Structure 1
Amino acid sequence: MAGESDLRTLLSGMRPELNAGRYVFTTVEDGVPSGVSPVATVAEDEGLTLVVRREEADAAGLAYEYVAGWITLRVHSALEAVGLTAAVSRELADAGLSCNVIAGFHHDHLFVPYEHAERAMTVLAGPARRSGTDTG
């Protein structure tokens, strides 16, 4: 099934879902440590960035600074869709919330400060309402 590319449809149907747990960004040079199951990885010149559950990072002795809540936008967005990331990040920025976005094949994933994850969910309901459909 092809992903959606119409911005209004994406915003009205994004259905944000807060995943359970606390997540951290860390980096490794020698591959993923045993016992660590990343929810995302990014290969960079400086090393392999891992997004993992905080408990796994702690158990593996991995360093991190940022503890995040993980929100999945349940709408199946097309990778070539224009404006969803900008619209969502603008909403969160206007509310004073940082947001790190990772696009998967089917969904966009937002990592926001853990202590403000519920507030971010409330903020994300705004674009859907303005697009004609509530998220709830």
Structure 2
Amino acid sequence: MTERVSDGPEMVRRMAPRLVPGHFAFRTLNDAADLAEALPQAQGMFREREGISVILPADPGAPLAMRQITLDVPSALDGVGLTAAVAGALARSGIACNMVAAHHHDHVFVPEADADAAMDVLRALADGSEGKS
């Protein structure tokens, strides 16, 4: 098993952002039949009071289409600072993001049109040059 990184600055340095192929959309499903049909395609899901939020494949250009950026660092679930650093850097660049923490990696969903700019921001954050001109 890979050793997990829990130190915030170390997680940021080692995060190696990777743009995942495909486009995704967040949807809420309340019907068991809809959920059963969607489950094999689901990129992720979470139970909320309003229903089951599911991240599903979407067509490019679809309303609210997102791109997924995986942070390829074995981040520890009790690590502190990676989410704040990533979300903060993207916010400073005017890029919306939805963070999803999974068991092995953290994932960032950004609007389709902002994916390339988000990759540039995250690479700069990792190499310590974010915000420097």
TM-score tier after normalising by the smaller chain length? 0.7 to 0.9
TM-score scaled by length of structure 1? 0.84
Partners of 2:114 and 2:82 in 1: CA distance: 21
1: CA distance, partners of 2:81 / 2:47: 25
The reply on whether 1:34 has 2:32 as its aligned counterpart is no
Deviations 1:73-131 (A, max 9, x none): 01010000001000000000000000000000000010000111011000001221118
Alignment match, 1:97 = 95
Query: What percent identity do the matched residue pairs reach?
Result: 38
SS at match of 1:115: helix
The aligned residue for residue 18 of structure 2 is 17
Secondary structure of the corresponding residue to residue 34 of structure 1? helix
Q: Distance in 1 between matches of 2:98 and 2:126?
A: 20
What TM-score do the two structures reach when normalised by structure 2? Answer: 0.86
Q: Secondary structure at the match of 1:20?
A: coil
Q: 1:7 & 1:48 partners in 2: Cα distance?
A: 31
Q: Distance in 1 between matches of 2:103 and 2:15?
A: 15
2: CA distance, partners of 1:45 / 1:65:
24
Deviations 1:33-90 (A, max 9, x none): 42651110010011000001014xxxxxxxx852100000010100000010000000
Structure-2 separation of matches of 1:7 and 1:80? 10
Aligned positions, number = 123
For 1:21, what is the secondary structure of its paired residue? coil
State the partner residue of 1:43.
47
Structure 2 residue matching 1:10: 3-state secondary structure = helix
Gaps of 5+ in 2: none
Q: What is the root-mean-square deviation of aligned Cα atoms in Å?
A: 1.7
Show structure 1 runs of 5+ residues with no match. Answer: 56-63, 132-136
**Any residues of structure 2 matched to 1:110-121 within 5 Å, and which?**
110-121=108-119
Aligned to 2:6: 5
